[in-house]
Amino acid sequence: MDTTVNNVVPSEAPWPQEDVQTQSPSVWSADTDIQFIPGTNRVILTMQGTLLRSVIQDAFENVRASILFEHVFPDVVLALSFIRDALITAARRCGPATASIYTRLLNDKDYLMKIVPLVSTTIHS
């Protein structure tokens, strides 16, 4: 199954847990899992676990601050750097509860790239 994130769907609609697809290698704890819409490779913020959702939401503010104080019109490379740094900073600031998310963001590039589209919408909005 291809798990590359191509589209982000903003939605407030709750999804039944039995319909949610999860990708979780055995080396990472379950609280780092990314929830996908069944049968797709799409990710929705509201489907994510509480800790991961909190990290992503905090990253929104971090990206906004980077855009405001560092560069108002970042190119793609700089924008990705802002997002990566924002996610890592948010996971670190959330404390011990998000230590596994922080570690995974640092060590698993595929994981990071699956979360980036959720945060990148703040740059394009």
pLDDT tens digits along 80-104:
999 999 999 999 998 899 999 999 9
Average confidence (pLDDT) over 93-118: 93
Is 11 a domain residue? no
Give the count of domains, the chain: 1
Is 94 a domain residue? yes
Is 9 a domain residue? no
pLDDT at site 120: 79
pLDDT tens digits along 30-71:
889 999 888 888 888 999 999 999 999 999 999 999 999 999
Which residue's structure tokens are 């990206």?
Answer: 63
pLDDT band at 28 (very low <50, low <70, confident <90, very high): confident
Is 10 a domain residue? no
